[in-house]
Amino acid sequence: ALMLDHVVTWAQENPVLTKLDLRVRVDNTRAIALYRARAFVEEGVLRKQISVRGECHDLLAMGMDV
């Protein structure tokens, strides 16, 4: 959480940046809760984006304006 807070603060202080975005597995509920708590919003689901041990997983796209 500290690293994420540092990145968000840095981005907010950087006049060149206007948005942060990320991708997280839809089943990673702890990470999604952390990102929501830091003002990231859900922007969509990307189906079958990664394969782990032969099993496909969806990713949740999240973003925040800075």
Q: What is the pLDDT of residue 35?
A: 98
Return per-residue pLDDT of the chain as tens, 66 residues.
Answer: 999 999 999 999 999 999 999 999 999 999 999 999 999 999 999 999 999 999 999 999 999 999
Q: What is the pLDDT of residue 42?
A: 98
22-36 tens-digit pLDDT: 999 999 999 999 999
Q: Return the structure tokens found at 37.
A: 């708590």
Q: What is the pLDDT of residue 20?
A: 97
Q: Answer for the pair 21, 44: CB distance below 8 angstroms, yes or no.
A: no
What order do you get walking across the sheet with 55-65 strand by strand? 19-25, 55-65, 41-52
Which runs of E-coded beta strand occur in 1-66?
A: 19-25, 41-52, 55-65
Whether the model clears a pTM of 0.75, i.e. scores above it, the answer is: yes
Nearest to 43 by CA among 63, 65, 18, 22: 63
